[in-house]
Amino acid sequence: MPQAKLTASGEGIQDVRIAEYSGAIQTHADSDIDRQIEEYTLDQIIAGLTGTAVEKKAVTSEVNLTESVFKGSFDEVNEFYYRRGWTDGLPIVPPTRDKVEQFLRYTSLPRDEEIAVLPLANQRATPWTIAVNAAMAGCRPEYMPVLISAVEAMKEPQFRLRDHGNSCGCRPYLLVNGPITKQLDLYSGTGLMSPGARNIGSTAAANPNTTIGRALHLIVQNIAGFRPAISEMSVFGHQQSFVLAEDEAESPWEPYHVEHGFDKRLSTVTAMAWMGMIGQEGLSQGNKADLHLQYLGDELAHGMAPVYFSFGTHAMITILIAPPIAKVLAANGYTKQAVKEHIFEKSRMTIREINKRLEPVYLTVHDYVVKGSTPESFDLGPDETIPAVLSPNLIDIVVCGSRERNRSLILFSFYANPVIKEIKI
């Protein structure tokens, strides 16, 4: 109910009428559903349809975002921010006016210029509000261009930020490419997704992967309005957003941003999202490329694939491949595109297996063919096999992680598609 009301408010509907069904409807018997609708929900539906409309005007007020909201000690500031739901539950760096001004030196945009209007709350993201959240996260001021470009990416319709509060949970993360990864000392090695992972010898104040990721989390919470258990309704939740840097020096292939049409000398940030992870087992496939690709195809097929039929192309699969495996694949003549196509082909399941997973909730493969959302070539007999995802173009390859181990990791998400933007220094 709170999520429904907040969503309506964000869309400008002040007098939304909601009929409530109490409990988890997916776990109820048909007879229980009938009884609850008849005894509880139906009266609300009738009242909502027949009641007198009450005109409510949106409450608007001019807010001076540069005004101080609180003065006190470090602990008092943190208590104030925590009680208002402005933190991620951890201590924040108080965003003093002087500190926020330091971030604004790294952009030529006016402090109050609208960069994006981010759903769910449909609030304006400006250099000032981005800088406040970046300061709170412990970022250095020079990280500001990355965050501005990240916000520009998340506002694009194909990223579908408005759907990130779903019950499965969908968490944004960033991929950074180009010269800026060295300029900011972004980390691409062992444990790069772990909080605090960094290059040996980095200064304590740096840690861009962790702090930029935390700033992204706060921006999604405080500007976009996704608050855990209030408007972000993931059943179990997700860990904080993170930042990946591709290990371009150790990759045998062209970097991700070059693959997508950018000059290698430019820097980019790609807004991505994940709902789940698969892999990191890594058997000893040695230098045999086919064994590595078969392993990834099997993991992709059995990890989450059949649900993709109901989401079509509104999905993304990002496969993180450690440099040693990438080099094996390249040495066997595989380009990055060829790797995607082979993983796609090796992610095969029988029609019978896929239907068994789909039928309890969704439609069969045949039904999706009839709807036109699945290729006609997939309409086969029960023992025939098809790739468990719709297209190799849903797969992205990023080379990163340990330079000493044979591991891969699959990040996947429904709803969203990746969006890449140039980082303007």
Q: Per residue in 154-166, pLDDT tens?
A: 999 999 998 887 7
Give the pLDDT of residue 59. 57
Q: Is the pLDDT assigned to residue 75 strictly greater than 90?
A: yes
| Average of per-residue pLDDT across 113-141 | 95
Show the tokens assigned to 286. 């040695």
Calculate what percentage of the chain has a pLDDT beyond 90: 60
Task: Say yes or no: 25 and 88 in one domain.
Answer: no
Identify the CA nearest to 138 among candidates 179, 173, 88.
Answer: 88
Give the pLDDT of residue 68. 87
Verify cis geometry, omega within 30 degrees of 0, for the bond prior to 363.
Answer: no
Task: Say yes or no: 230 and 172 in one domain.
Answer: yes
145: enclosing H helix or E strand: helix 144-154
Burial (CB < 10 A; 0-12, 13-18, 19+), residue 302, is: middle
Distance between alpha carbon 360 and the CA centroid of its chain, in Å?
27
Task: Say yes or no: 84 and 185 in one domain.
Answer: yes
Show the tokens assigned to 113. 């210029």
Task: Say yes or no: 193 and 291 in one domain.
Answer: no
Task: Say yes or no: 45 and 96 in one domain.
Answer: no
Give the pLDDT of residue 206. 67
Tell which wins on pLDDT, 153 or 16: 153
Q: Is the pLDDT assigned to residue 200 strictly greater than 80?
A: no
Q: Is the pLDDT assigned to residue 139 strictly greater than 90?
A: yes
Measured CA to CA, the distance from residue 221 to residue 328 in angstroms comes to: 41
Residues 324-370: tens digit of each pLDDT: 999 999 999 999 999 999 999 999 889 898 888 877 667 888 988 89
- 194 phi/psi in degrees, rounded to 5: -80, 140
Residue where a domain terminates, one of 245, 269, 304: 245
Give the pLDDT of residue 26. 82
Give the pLDDT of residue 170. 83
Give the pLDDT of residue 235. 78
| Average of per-residue pLDDT across 88-108 | 96
Q: Is residue 14 part of a domain?
A: yes
Give the pLDDT of residue 363. 81
Task: Say yes or no: 18 and 116 in one domain.
Answer: no
Write out the DSSP string of 5-55: HHHHHHTT-SS-------S-GGGS-HHHHHHHIIIIIHHHHHHHHHSPP--
Give the pLDDT of residue 280. 62
Q: Is the pLDDT assigned to residue 204 strictly greater than 70?
A: no
Q: Is the pLDDT assigned to residue 58 strictly greater than 60?
A: no
Give the pLDDT of residue 281. 63
Task: Say yes or no: 241 and 290 in one domain.
Answer: no
Q: Hey, how many other C-beta atoms are within 10 angstroms of the C-beta on 267?
A: 23
**Torsion sign (Cα): 27, 29, 30, 34:** negative
Q: Is the pLDDT assigned to residue 99 strictly greater than 90?
A: yes
Q: Is the pLDDT assigned to residue 310 strictly greater than 70?
A: no
Q: Is residue 271 part of a domain?
A: no
Q: Is residue 57 part of a domain?
A: no
Distance between alpha carbon 243 and the CA centroid of its chain, in Å?
11
Give the pLDDT of residue 357. 80
Give the pLDDT of residue 61. 54
Task: Say yes or no: 81 and 37 in one domain.
Answer: no
Q: Is the pLDDT assigned to residue 63 strictly greater than 80?
A: no
Q: Which residue type is seen at 97?
A: R
Task: Say yes or no: 191 and 94 in one domain.
Answer: yes
Show the tokens assigned to 155. 């506002």
Task: Say yes or no: 299 and 376 in one domain.
Answer: yes
Show the tokens assigned to 213. 């990721």
- The SS3 assignment for 109 reads coil
Residues 269-305: tens digit of each pLDDT: 999 999 888 876 666 678 889 889 998 998 888 776 5
Q: Is residue 402 part of a domain?
A: yes
**Looking at the 3D structure of the chain, how many domains does it have?**
3
Measured CA to CA, the distance from residue 291 to residue 406 in angstroms comes to: 12
Task: Say yes or no: 158 and 191 in one domain.
Answer: yes
Burial (CB < 10 A; 0-12, 13-18, 19+), residue 163, is: middle
Q: Is residue 266 part of a domain?
A: no
Distance of CA 299 to CAs 58, 314, 342, 347, 362, Å? Answer: 49, 20, 13, 8, 22
Q: Is residue 183 part of a domain?
A: yes
Judge contact between 150 and 174, C-beta under 8 A.
yes
Its pTM surpasses 0.85:
yes
Q: Is the pLDDT assigned to residue 104 strictly greater than 60?
A: yes
Of 35-39, 123-127, 274-278, 330-334, the range with the lowest mean pLDDT is: 274-278
Do the strands 243-245 and 268-274 form a parallel or antiparallel pair, or are they unpaired?
unpaired
Task: Say yes or no: 161 and 298 in one domain.
Answer: no
Give the pLDDT of residue 32. 93
| Average of per-residue pLDDT across 99-114 | 97
Q: Is residue 256 part of a domain?
A: no
- 305 phi/psi in degrees, rounded to 5: -55, -50
Measured CA to CA, the distance from residue 302 to residue 349 in angstroms comes to: 8
Q: Provide the residue range defining the domain that includes 97.
A: 74-245
Q: Is the pLDDT assigned to residue 201 strictly greater than 80?
A: no
Please give the DSSP secondary-structure letter assigned to residue 57: P
Show the tokens assigned to 421. 């933007």
Give the pLDDT of residue 23. 86
Q: Is residue 270 part of a domain?
A: no
